Structure formats: C-alpha cells, structure tokens
Amino acid sequence: MRNARLGRPGSWLFWAATLTLVTVALVSVRDDLDQAHVTLIYMLVVLGGSASGGRVLGLTLACACFLLIDYFLQTPYDLLSVDKPLDWLVLVAFLVTATVATQLLGRANAEAEAARRRAEEIDRLAALGAETLSAGRAEDALAAIAKVIRETTGAAECQVFVGGTAMAEGTERAGDRDEAGHDAAAAQADPAIGETVAWVAEHRRAATERLDGTPVHTSAELGASAALDAALAPARALLLPLVAHGRSVGVLRLADRGGLRLDPARRRFLDALSYYAALGIERVELAAEAEHAEALREADRLKDALLASVSHDLRTPLTTIKALAHDLAAGGDDRAAVIEEQADRLNHMVADLLDLSRLNAGGVPVHTDVNAAEDLVGAAIQQVAGALGGRELRTSLALQEPMPVGRFDFVHSLRILVNLIENALKYSPAAAPIDIWMRGEGEMIAIAVADRGGGVPPAERERIFEAFYRPAGGVSPDGARAGGAGLGLAIARRLALAQGGTLTYEDRHGGGSVFTLRLPAARLSAEEAPLAVTS
Amino acid sequence: MNLQGQREGTGLIVDDEPQIRRVVRHALEGELGRIIEAATGSEGIDLAAAEKPILMVLDLGLPDMPGIEVCREVRKWSTAAIVVLSARQSDTEKAMLLDAGADDYVTKPFSTLEFTARVRANLRRAQVARRPSEHRVAIGELVMDLAARTVRRGEQPIHLTPIEWELLRTFVTQAGRTLTHRQLFNAVWGRPFGDPQQNLRVHVANLRRKIERDPLRPEVILTEPGVGYRLEMPG
C-alpha cells in the first residue's frame, strides 16, 4: 500500500535506483554467483516494480534486467553477447517469466482497483440510504441525495425537478454559492431546459444537452445504454427520468458547463442512485400527503366537535326552558305554552342550520336500505300528527298493486316528507285537505304531497329550493307559525339528491302545489318480495 | 307504580347538568319511591351497583366517559330499565345505544309529558317481563295465541308467513320496547348479517298490511325512524 501511494514518476525513479544498486552489488560479487541466483534476484525487482508501478514499469524493468544480466553478469562480461547457448536459454526464460508475471500482476491490480471502486460505490449507496432514511425532513433527504449524486458523478451540479421546478440541488462549491445559485437560477429560467425536463418526465426517456444547449432526445430509459453514448459524446447536461413504483415522479439533471464526463461504470451507478432520488421524491410527496390528510382530519375533527358541542350546548338550555314552560302551562298559564312552542321552533332552526352546514360540507352520511314507501309515509304522518290540529291528511293505499319499495335513506327521506307536509299545512287554507300519493315509476318510486294553497309563481319555482328563500307574496294563513329560516326546501332537495333522488314542484290541476319526491326503486326477487295481501 | 298503586323502587339520574337533573327529578317524582343523582359516568356506575335502581336515566354527554360505555357496563349486571337522554339526532347512535343494552332514548329537548310516558312504559314493561309469559296475548282487537301460532282479528283468522309470524312474536314478547333493525333480524333470521336484513322493513310493511286497520296510520307496530320498530300495547 505504501508503494502504491508513491506517485508514478516517484516509483520509476525508485525502481531505477533499486535496479542500479542491485546491479552494482551483484557485479561486485559476480564471480561467486550462480546464474539462478542472479535471475531470481532480478525477478524480485521486476515483480516489485510491476506491483507498485504497474504493468509498463514491470515490462520496462524486465527488459532492463535482461540487458543488465547479459551485459554485466554473464560471461563474457561487459559485452552484449553470450558465449554459452545455455545462457541464452536462461536469459530468454527470464524475460518470458518476468513478462508473464508482470501481466498477471497487472491484471490482479486492475481487479483490486475495480473492487476498491465498487466498495466505494457501495459505501456511497449505504451513505445515501442512511441519508434518505435518517434525514428529518423529506426535503432534506432529497437535497442530500442530490449532493451525493453530484459528488459521485463528479458533475458540477445536480438538480432534481418535480413538476417542472427544481426541488433539490447539489452544487459544486459550497463556499461559492453565488455562482452556483446563478447557474441553478439560469437553468430554471431557461425555457429550453424546462421543455426538456417536461419531455423527459412525460416520455420517461433520457435526454442530453449539447455544449451549446441544444437538447437531444434519446430512446434510453436509463443512464447506462448504448443509445445514450452517442448523445453524450459532447454534452453539458444529462437528464434522466426518475421512476418509482412504475410512476414518473420527476427528472434528474446533471450538468457541467465545461462538458459532462461520465464513463459507463459511472452511468450504471447513476441508475442506482437515480432510483434513490425517485424514492426521495416519493417520500417528499408521501410526507406532504400525510401532512395534508392529517390537517384535513384535524379540521374534520374540529368541525364535528364544534357541531356536536353547538348542538349539545344549545339543546341543554332548550330542554330546561321547555320542561319548565310545560310545567307552567300545565298550571294554566297560556304564555308558557308560547314559550314552549318558541323553544321548539328555536330547536328546529338550530337543527336546520347545522344540517345545512353539514350538507354544504358534504358531511352528511347516507345509509340507504330497502324500504317500503308506505313505511315512510306512515312515519311521516305519525310525526306530523301533533301539528295537524284537525286538518285532514288524505292518503290512499292500493293494496292490489305491488308495494312501492325503494332503496333510500329512511331518516333523510322522512325529513323531506315531513317538511313537505308541514309546508302544505302552512301554505294552504285550513279547510282544504292535503293529499299524499305514492306510486312506482319504473326505476323510481314517487311520493307526492299536494295542497290547495296558492301555488308558486313560475319565476320562483326553482328559487324556492334555494337556502334562505322567503316567499315574496306567499302569505301563510297562519302567519305566526310561518316564520322559519327558509331552509326547509333547500335541505330537502339536497337530501333527496344525496340519495340519488329528486325533489320537484308542479302546479296542481285545479289550483295548489304538488311537491314530488322521487327515490330510486328497489328490485326484489320473487322470493324476497312479500306477496300481495289476499285476506 | 306497582299493581297496588304505590310508588316504589329507586331511580338513578346520571347527568352532568344540574338543571337537567332537576327537570328529570321533577318528572320522575310521581313514578318512583326514591331518586338519586350522579354527575359523572363512573359515579353513575358505582351508584347503580350500590343502590340497584330499577330505572336509570342516562345522559350521553358525560364529562368523564361516553354514555354508551356506562350503558354497556351497567347492562352487564343490572336489569334496570335504562332510558338515555340524547342531545344528538344521529339515529345510528340511537341504534347503537339500544344494541348496547339501553331500553329507550329521549331526544333533547323533550317535553316532560313525553318523558314521563316513556319512563312509565319502560317501568311497566320491566314488571310485565317478570311475570310468566301467557299463551294468549291481546293487542287491541288482535288476539295472538303463541302456543297455537295463530292470530285473529275478532273471529277472522289472519294468515301470516313464517317470517311475519316470527316478527310479530318478537314484537309481542318485547312489547313497548324499541327493537333495532339488527335485534329484529337476529331474532327472526337467527344470524346477525345477511341480505335479508335489507328486506326486514318490507316484511314489516307487509305484516302491517295484514294486522293494522290502516297501514299508513299504524297503531300496533310503530316506526322509530332510523332505529327500528316498537310494538305499542294499546291501553
């Protein structure tokens, strides 16, 4: 290892000196020496030289030794001639052996060098892996990866582009940030580079930039391929697609204004490194997504907590007010009944506002089930029974026809229907009955609530379904109770849409309104469908 | 009230709001002999174990633990009627409560009248449940013979499918109590999940067509929207 560290000229000098010393020493005792001793000693010199200085030095030493042995150590001395044929054999054998040994040593050295480089690459990969995993922020990890790639490939700058913007940069001179920053800014400002980056990301093919900046699109998918060799010959930048899990996540740009030099081994290594960069980008994206999801969850949780708390906190005092007013009313105070009624109204308005805000936020869960329309209508009648005040609700049930069965959310649909019936009660004369029909309509089932009120003017037929709509001329016969928040129909229509249904208005033949709720019909198999009643 | 018209038994109110406790106590005073109060869930559980109330009125918004946990815990060892006070209108939550062992729920704001009626029904049912079951049950003008598996309206026999019979039998044996869709399905089909659960409501609608005078204004089987059904014993 010590010899290996000697510089090339140093080892040549060293071995020339050694050879001279050895020759001088041997010449002084040449009469006592055997041919075998001489060749062995010179062989050691050749091997030493070739091990430390490489193949060329080894071969040069071999030739020099050949001449020196011939000249100084074989009779006749001091002449380049040999008198015994056997001595020729010794000389030639020496030369061949030295050459072969030098060659073998050279090859072993080259392999050792390759192994050392590979070990270095593995070290870098390990370092990169550690950087990727241990950097606190995903962005830091990506910057570290860019830096390692730049150092490994020897390029002046290395940029990682995500969605057209440089996300991480490794630049050559940490102390010379101005120039590096200028380079990076220039690269980002150059629209040609932006286009090339976009092309690479879209086609998942590598590209290069010539020294004058002309982009060259290649068919190479990775950094190491024959298709890239030609394009790289004189190039100032190499752009590689970054693909993680089959998805193009970004572009890696290696650049050196003086010309990029990458041997095939480096480029193979670059492939492995660029995969790390792709994983780094993926990690950045995942981190951002996780952060976003966390924020959403937090907002959702806050919203739910707020809604629950508002609804709980408002209802608790309302309960007390209502209960106390009820007790007072039982004692014969009419005013207490008004308090109780107003408490109920307040409760409805709070519920409506909460529902509307939930519907707007898309936060109303829909639980659809197979339900019978008559169950729904029955529940609605049950719910409005207290508010009827002697008004007539006319219904008809065709027992002979198949039962209209739908797939809908019972609670939401009940809310809609109750709202329609309450509106009908509010906006039609007390003497006129309210009719409720239901029927199957193929893919849908329809439930209609019809009154004999004033109807809705054509200009307002859609506006009545808007939030906070108040009828301009719509005076209810029972003025005191008509004052809602104008949310009922808006909520009703949104609830209908949320379960795949519709809520529409039509004029009633002979005067009045018909509101029709249509909900998806359910198909029951003959076995599932209960038979029609025949008793 | 027991059969002699005397008030007896202990009622437990678990609510963190003193005003609500006052209102509830006031409503219960005519129904029970003694009323005790707890302000937290754990205190409520302790009192339920120590005092063995026959009625527990439980608020869901307790400061220390979810009301449903209190319900589940108490139901493990107590037969007290549990009536839940809920400020939320989520029906899935109500169904969960009933599945967890609550007998009934009242949504805030409630009227004292409604609340007292529900409490009375639950207390009465708790007493009925202790009596040996009868073969013949009269529901208004319907007469059901559990042993002979027949239903008549007056002299007119009513033909029920096996599923409808099982439904009606389940309702009758737990009259007055809200049964969740899941509880009904378990009782009738004998397994907790499956496609027919979807059609439970259609079977109920069909049963109504057979036993109700007006299926759109049912008097026997009432719908508890989003939760289940309840059989009302007239009288």
Residue B97 pLDDT > 70:
yes
Does the distance separating the beta carbons of A371 and B201 come in below 8 Å? yes
Does the distance separating the beta carbons of A410 and B202 come in below 8 Å? no
Contact residues, chain B, for A369 at CB < 8 Å: 198, 201
Does the distance separating the beta carbons of A535 and B210 come in below 8 Å? yes
Residue B131 pLDDT > 90:
no
- Give φ, ψ of A139 to 5 degrees: -65, -40
Contact residues, chain B, for A528 at CB < 8 Å: 196, 199, 202
A81 touching B, CB under 8 A?
no
| Predicted pLDDT at A29 | 87
H helices present in A29-74, as ranges: 35-53, 55-68
Contact residues, chain B, for A417 at CB < 8 Å: none
pLDDT by residue (tens digit) across A109-135?
Answer: 888 888 888 888 788 777 777 766 666
Does the distance separating the beta carbons of B210 and A533 come in below 8 Å? yes
Contact residues, chain A, for B215 at CB < 8 Å: 374, 378, 397
Distance of CA A28 to the CA centre of its chain: 81
Distances (CA, A) of A197 to A187, A214, A216: 11, 13, 12
| Predicted pLDDT at B133 | 61
Q: What integer is the mean pLDDT of A340-367?
A: 79
Between A21-30, A177-186, A380-389, A481-490, the lowest mean confidence (pLDDT) is in: A177-186
In this prediction, residue B43 has a pLDDT band, given cuts at 50, 70 and 90, of very high
Total residue count of chain A as it appears in this document: 535
Does the distance separating the beta carbons of B225 and A410 come in below 8 Å? yes
Contact residues, chain B, for A321 at CB < 8 Å: 109
Does the distance separating the beta carbons of A324 and B20 come in below 8 Å? no
Residue A315 pLDDT > 70:
yes
In this prediction, residue B4 has a pLDDT band, given cuts at 50, 70 and 90, of very low
Higher-confidence position of A316 and A485:
A316
pLDDT by residue (tens digit) across B159-185?
Answer: 998 889 999 999 988 887 889 988 898
Question: Taking CA atoms, what residue in B is nearest to A341?
Answer: B111
Does the distance separating the beta carbons of A378 and B223 come in below 8 Å? yes
| Predicted pLDDT at A471 | 67
Does the distance separating the beta carbons of B225 and A528 come in below 8 Å? no
- Cα(B10)–Cα(B78) distance, integer angstroms: 13
Residue A91 in contact with residue A74, Cβ under 8 Å?
yes
Q: How far apart are the first and last CA of chain B?
A: 16
pTM of the model: 0.56
Contact residues, chain A, for B16 at CB < 8 Å: none
Residue A174 in contact with residue A295, Cβ under 8 Å?
no
Question: Taking CA atoms, what residue in B is nearest to A399?
Answer: B209
Question: Taking CA atoms, what residue in B is nearest to A348?
Answer: B109
Higher-confidence position of A488 and A174:
A488
Higher-confidence position of A252 and A2:
A252
Higher-confidence position of A110 and A361:
A110
A309 touching B, CB under 8 A?
no
Instruction: Label the pairing between strands A157-162 and A165-171.
Output: antiparallel
| Predicted pLDDT at B91 | 74
Q: Which of A370, A383, A395 is nearest residue B199 as measured by Cβ atoms?
A: A370
Q: Which residues pair with B224 in a beta bridge?
A: B228
Q: What integer is the mean pLDDT of A325-353?
A: 82
Question: Taking all residues of chain B, what is their mean pLDDT, rounded to a whole number?
Answer: 84
ipTM: 0.80
Residue type, A395: T
- Residue % of chain A over a pLDDT of 90: 14
- B7's CB contacts (< 8 A; 6+ apart) are B1, B30, B31, B32, B33
Q: Which residues pair with B55 in a beta bridge?
A: B11, B81
In this prediction, residue A497 has a pLDDT band, given cuts at 50, 70 and 90, of very high
Q: Which of A321, A351, A397 is nearest residue B215 as measured by Cβ atoms?
A: A397
Question: Taking CA atoms, what residue in B is nearest to A532?
Answer: B206
| Predicted pLDDT at A308 | 67
In the stretch 409-428 of chain A, residues with CB closer than 8 A to chain B read 410-411, 414
In the stretch 354-393 of chain A, residues with CB closer than 8 A to chain B read 365, 367, 369-372, 374-375, 377-379, 381-383
H helices present in A477-526, as ranges: 488-498
- Cα(A153)–Cα(A128) distance, integer angstroms: 14
Higher-confidence position of A515 and B197:
A515
Q: Which of B87, B206, B216 is nearest residue A311 as measured by Cβ atoms?
A: B87
Higher-confidence position of B12 and A322:
B12
| Predicted pLDDT at B216 | 92
Question: Taking CA atoms, what residue in A is nearest to B224?
Answer: A379
Does the distance separating the beta carbons of B26 and A323 come in below 8 Å? yes
Residue A10 pLDDT > 50:
yes
Question: Nearest-CA distance from A465 to chain B in Å?
Answer: 24
| Predicted pLDDT at A476 | 46
pLDDT by residue (tens digit) across B204-230?
Answer: 999 999 999 899 999 999 998 888 998
- Cα(B125)–Cα(A389) distance, integer angstroms: 31
pLDDT by residue (tens digit) across B23-33?
Answer: 899 889 888 88
∠ CA A171-A177-A179, rounded to 5°:
85
| Predicted pLDDT at A374 | 93
In this prediction, residue A56 has a pLDDT band, given cuts at 50, 70 and 90, of confident
Q: What integer is the mean pLDDT of A429-441?
A: 91
Higher-confidence position of B42 and A168:
B42
Higher-confidence position of A443 and A402:
A443
pLDDT by residue (tens digit) across A64-75?
Answer: 888 888 888 887
Q: How many CB pairs under 8 A join A and B?
A: 128
- Give φ, ψ of A160 to 5 degrees: -115, 120
Question: Nearest-CA distance from B110 to chain A in Å?
Answer: 6
